[in-house]
Amino acid sequence: MSNPTLLVTGASGQLGRRVLELLLAAPGARTIIATTRKPETLADFARRGVDVRAADFAAPASLPAAFAGADRALLISSDAIGQRLAQHRAAIAALERTGARHVVYTSSPPAPSLGIVAEEHQGTELALANSSLEFTLLRNNLYADLLFHSLPAAIASGKLVDARGTGAVSYISRDDCARAASTAMLDGFSGGRTIEIAGAEAVTSADLARIAATISGRPVAHVPVSEQQVIAGMVAHGLPEPMAKVYARFDVAAARGELAGSARAFVQLTGTQPQPVSAFLAAHRGALGAS
Distance between CA atoms of residues 249 and 186, nearest Å? 34
Element (H, E) at 51: strand 51-54
Residue 87 has pLDDT above 60, yes or no: yes
The backbone region for 217, taken as left when phi is positive above 0, alpha when psi lies in -120 to 50, beta otherwise, is left
Residue 242 belongs to some domain of the structure: no
Distance between CA atoms of residues 254 and 234, nearest Å? 18
**Higher-confidence residue: 287 or 256?**
256
Average pLDDT over residues 261-267: 96
Model pLDDT for residues 183-216, shown as the tens digit of each residue: 999 999 999 999 999 999 999 999 999 999 999 9
Residue 89 belongs to some domain of the structure: yes
Spatial CB neighbours of 52, under 8 Å, sequence gap ≥ 6: 11, 33, 34, 35, 36, 39, 42, 43, 45, 46
Residue 127 has pLDDT above 60, yes or no: yes
Question: How high is the pLDDT of residue 240?
Answer: 95
Q: Which domain holds residue 40?
A: 5-141+173-197+261-274
Residue 106 has pLDDT above 70, yes or no: yes
Average pLDDT over residues 151-160: 96
- Contact between 91 and 57 (Cβ < 8 Å): yes
Distance between CA atoms of residues 88 and 57, nearest Å? 7
What is the number of domains present in the chain? 1
Residue 215 belongs to some domain of the structure: no
Question: How high is the pLDDT of residue 287?
Answer: 86
Question: How high is the pLDDT of residue 291?
Answer: 59
Residue 231 belongs to some domain of the structure: no
Residue 1 has pLDDT above 60, yes or no: no
Residue 159 belongs to some domain of the structure: no
Residue 161 belongs to some domain of the structure: no
Residue 100 has pLDDT above 80, yes or no: yes
CATH number at residue 67: 3.40.50.720
Closest CA to 170 of 78, 262, 268: 262
Distance between CA atoms of residues 51 and 95, nearest Å? 17
How do 192-197 and 159-162 pair as beta strands? Answer: unpaired
Question: How high is the pLDDT of residue 273?
Answer: 96
Average pLDDT over residues 155-172: 97
Distance between CA atoms of residues 22 and 26, nearest Å? 6
Residue 152 belongs to some domain of the structure: no
By the 10 Å C-beta count (0-12 exposed, 13-18 middle, 19+ buried), 22 is classed as middle
Kindly report the average pLDDT of the chain as a whole number: 95
Residue 99 belongs to some domain of the structure: yes
In the structure, what pLDDT confidence band is assigned to residue 290 with cuts at 50, 70 and 90?
Answer: low
Residue 2 has pLDDT above 90, yes or no: no
- Contact between 142 and 196 (Cβ < 8 Å): no
Question: How high is the pLDDT of residue 23?
Answer: 97
Question: How high is the pLDDT of residue 289?
Answer: 78
